[in-house]
Amino acid sequence: MKKIVLVCLMAFVLLILASPVFAHDYSGWETIRPLLKDGGGDEFVKGVGLPLNYFTGATELEAVQSAVNWIAVNYKYVPDVGEVWTSSDQMYGRLVGDCEDWAILLVALLRFHTQYNGHPITANKVWVTVSLVTQPGVGVVAAHASVGYKLDKGGTIHIEPGSSELYRGRPIGMLSFNDVWVKGGGPYLAGPE
């Protein structure tokens, strides 16, 4: 698992340093940045054609665990050549990718295809988080994407793409987004003046 996370972190560095990024038909960080700056990541996080109640559970955690387990069973990590962000509908069709591809797909499955007690999961409850690792004097040396989920009864869980474990605590990152909102991003989202 540590190797997968490390490889994913290194692959994401290419996104920040080299800027060759693709999402659906969008290529280059200069193209993707405005899509996130518009206030939502709906170009990335979208329904994949499954029924709204494809993943269900008697409790909120059972429903979330159902989607998380599906990702874990189908997880095939393939690092990007260059950096490629794949929209959830395309990712569902191929089921191979790196950490941000799987995180985007999991958020879409939770947002558009999961219910508990007859209720869908709203945008304020689930998001993709991008974390950067920096080194003084060097800058960004690694990056990783994971999923955050806010529980009805309070608290937040952190979900690593490819793992069936649910971890207590909020994932810490510099950029968070889903289909409705974008938060953070700092200079990487703001871009050059």
Task: Give pLDDT tens digits for 49-74.
Answer: 999 999 999 999 999 999 999 999 99
Q: b/e for 35-59, b at 16 or more Cβ within 10 A?
A: bbeeebbebbbbbbeeeeebbbbee
Using an 8 Å Cβ cutoff, are 107 and 126 in contact? yes
Residue ranges of the domains in the chain? 2-185
Distance of CA 53 to the CA centre of its chain: 21
Percentage, residues of the chain above pLDDT 90: 54
User: Among the listed ranges 9-13, 146-150, 177-181, which one has the minimum average pLDDT value?
Assistant: 9-13
Q: Which fold has domain 2-185?
A: C8orf32 fold (3.10.620)
DSSP letter at 100 equals H
Q: What's the pTM value of the predicted model, to 2 decimals? A: 0.82
